[in-house]
């Protein structure tokens, strides 16, 4: 049921389709509800499909969460916002060789540009027309402007990835299922989203505002519910990587410095190989760390989680 005057609508659960829910959080006219069947939490009411693009003009990239990432101090836009070492490791860790990658929510294509320079064939989908235009002028990338529902391709991908994207889409169940269809057998789906179970959200109003980001965040995921859903739509293996709480991370960084356990990670070593005259073929495949510090942080973070988590699902 939609309210056309305000471009908002009331919907059943966007993950399982159940219509019964209970209020979970409320902020003004926007509410988050928890499905009584699958326990997924989602924004209800929410913006309609026609209204959603209006929330992603260039102003969105200039708010407090994004400005330092996308803009220099003088206000000029950055061509490549980050080295994306962690994301590179996510993409390459389970792959024997580089291949074809599709990023959903590609923004200005900065991450795709990093992957392209490492030898990947890159494709992207992005809802913001402003971001797509900048992807072309800044990074010379042709990114589809729209959503996955209107993206037509007969290609099969080695990797489909979405970073801080799935929480924005109106149809997360469709996106997960369609991603499985687009992947080759053995391909992987990478999803990074805010963690609704974040330890900091229990006491920090600012963290709740940033993580819920109403009304742009349509879904609010927990690792167990998203992992269970992915297993139900065609993925055989699901790996969960927790982002540590900032205080836990600070303690581990201090301990690491004190006892000299911190070593350059595989992603950092791979990035270093890009300097000089190295070609894409010469750059080593990045790997997720398996050291004692990494394992300890993951173990503790499963109990005291930070604000986001990453799921890597294998078809």
Residue 38 lies in a domain: no
**Domain check: are 142 and 219 in the same one?**
yes
Q: Say whether both 179 and 279 belong to one domain.
A: no
Whether 181 and 209 share a structural domain: yes
Q: Are residues 239 and 271 located together in one domain of the fold?
A: no
Same domain? For 102 and 196 the reply is yes
Residue 248 contacts residue 306 (beta carbons within 8 Å)? yes
The mean pLDDT value of the chain amounts to: 86
Q: Which residue segment(s) compose the domain that 161 sits in?
A: 49-243+309-314
63-67, 130-134, 160-164, 299-303: the lowest-pLDDT one: 63-67
Shared domain for 168 and 288, answered yes or no, is: no
* Residue-level pLDDT at 69: 54
177 & 285 share domain: no
> Do 278 and 264 have their domain in common?
yes
The token pair at 62 is 């200039």
Asked, for residue 35, whether it belongs to a domain, the answer is no
CA distances to 82, 98, 112, 237, 304 from 276, in Å: 19, 21, 21, 38, 41
- The answer to whether position 15 is within a domain reads no
- Within a domain: 120: yes
Residue 184 lies in a domain: yes
Digit-coded pLDDT (tens) for 207-216: 998 899 999 9
Element (H, E) at 121: strand 121-126
Residue 258: predicted pLDDT: 65
**pLDDT at residue 106 in the model:** 96
Q: Do residue 122 and residue 252 come from a single domain?
A: no
In a domain, 301, yes or no: no
- Do 130 and 221 belong together in one domain? yes
- Residue 245, φ and ψ in degrees, nearest 5: -60, 145
**Residues 140, 260 within the same domain:** no
Full-model pTM: 0.84
Higher pLDDT, 81 or 33: 33
Domain tally, the chain: 2
What's the mean pLDDT in 99-112?
96
**Higher-confidence position of 156 and 85:** 156
Tens digit of each residue's pLDDT (9 = 90 or more) over 272-282: 444 344 677 78
Co-location of 125 and 257 in the same domain: no
pLDDT bin (cut points 50, 70, 90) of residue 62 is low
Would you give the DSSP letter of residue 299? H
Whether 92 has a pLDDT exceeding 80, the answer reads yes
């Amino acid at each position: 049921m939609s309210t056309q005057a305000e471009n908002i609508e009331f919907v059943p659960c966007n993950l399982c389709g159940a219509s019964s829910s209970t209020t979970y959080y409320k902020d003004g006219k926007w509410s988050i509800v928890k499905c009584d069947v699958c326990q997924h939490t989602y924004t209800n009411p929410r913006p309609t499909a026609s209204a959603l693009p209006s929330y992603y003009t260039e102003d969105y990239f200039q708010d407090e969460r994004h400005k330092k990432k996308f803009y220099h101090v003088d206000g000029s836009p950055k061509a490549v916002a980050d080295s994306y070492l962690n994301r590179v490791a996510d993409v390459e860790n389970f792959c024997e060789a580089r291949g074809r990658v599709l990023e959903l929510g590609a923004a200005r294509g900065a991450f795709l540009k990093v992957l392209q320079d490492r030898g990947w064939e890159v494709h992207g989908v992005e809802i913001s027309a402003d971001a797509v235009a900048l992807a072309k002028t800044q990074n010379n990338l042709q990114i589809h402007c729209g959503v996955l529902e209107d993206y037509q391709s007969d290609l099969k991908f080695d990797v489909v990835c979405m970073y801080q994207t799935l929480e924005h889409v109106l149809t997360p169940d469709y996106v997960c299922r369609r991603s499985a269809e687009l992947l080759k057998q053995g391909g992987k789906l990478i999803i990074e989203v805010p963690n609704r179970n974040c330890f900091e959200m229990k006491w920090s109003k600012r963290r709740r505002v940033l993580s819920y980001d109403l009304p742009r965040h349509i879904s609010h995921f927990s690792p167990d519910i998203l992992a269970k859903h992915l297993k139900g739509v065609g993925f055989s293996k699901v790996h969960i990587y927790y982002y540590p709480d900032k205080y836990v991370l600070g303690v581990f960084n201090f301990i690491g410095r004190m006892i000299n356990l911190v070593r350059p990670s595989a992603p950092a070593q791979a990035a270093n190989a890009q300097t000089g005259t190295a070609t894409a073929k010469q750059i080593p495949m990045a790997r997720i760390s398996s050291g004692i510090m990494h394992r300890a942080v993951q173990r503790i973070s499963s109990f005291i989680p930070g604000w986001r988590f990453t799921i890597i699902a294998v078809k």
